[in-house]
Amino acid sequence: MQLSKFSYYSDFVAYPLVLIALAAININHITWVSGAEWLGAGMAGLVLWSLMEYVLHRIALHRMPYLSPMHGLHHAAPLAFIGTPTWLSVSILGIAILGPAWARFGFNVADGLTFGVMLGYWWYGVVHHVIHHRANQSSPAYFNTLRAWHMRHHFSPRGGNFGVTTSVWDHIFGTAIRVRDKAAVS
């Protein structure tokens, strides 16, 4: 959905605060075992986010009747402030990840898993912003590689390159658009 400039940029401030809160919640109860468990859950959350990013982009944003037209606005105007309001994304991730994981695995794992997913979501926002809004500015090679990858998603007639922060899932699921694939149709 179209966001105000304030709402668009609030993710970049609110998510680090939420991440600090999630990390701080367990700090008084941390032991070597619980710390390793939390860290492992956090890494699993990052992997889970990368898969969620791919699936949400490929299916929800490109195939679902309500979300697809909104995502089409992003394709039509990549510099527009289009996204999910911070209050909504934090709430959805909290309810969808923290709640069920807490009930199933306990708070320590749920907190770490939620931290990892939210860290991944925040990083996705940073990467996607840099790809689109800093295209004419010098960026590290990591961002330049992801920009080229993501631009093939935007401008190739072949659907693919749904991962924004990583190409791993596109390669696994066969949706990677190679450079020569794009050149062959141009």
Please give the backbone phi and psi of residue 26, each rounded to the nearest 5 degrees, phi first: -95, 0
In this prediction, residue 91 carries a pLDDT of 97
Q: Which pLDDT belongs to residue 184? A: 45
- Does the structure show a pLDDT above 70 at 178? yes
Q: What was the pLDDT predicted at 185?
A: 43
- Does the pLDDT of residue 183 top 60, yes or no? no
pTM of the model: 0.90
- Please report the pLDDT score of residue 65 as a whole number: 84
What pLDDT does 12 receive? Answer: 96
Q: What percent of the chain has pLDDT over 90?
A: 59
Of 49-53, 81-85, 158-162, highest mean pLDDT: 49-53
DSSP code at position 134: T
pLDDT of residue 181: 52
pLDDT average, residue stretch 122-139: 87
Range picked from 58-62, 113-117, 129-133, 178-182 for highest mean pLDDT: 113-117
pLDDT digits (tens, 9 = 90+) for 131-172: 988 877 777 888 888 888 988 988 888 889 999 999 999 999
Tokens of 13: 């401030």
Three-state SS across 80-105? Answer: CCECCCHHHHHHHHHHHHHHHHHHHH
Which pair of tokens denotes residue 123?
């990083």
Q: What angle do CA 46, 112, 61 make, to 5 degrees?
A: 40
Residue count of the chain: 186
Of residues 135, 138, 129, 140, the one with CA closest to residue 15: 129
Model pLDDT, residue 36: 93
Of the candidates 32, 136, 17, 94, the one whose C-alpha atom is nearest the C-alpha of residue 147 is: 136
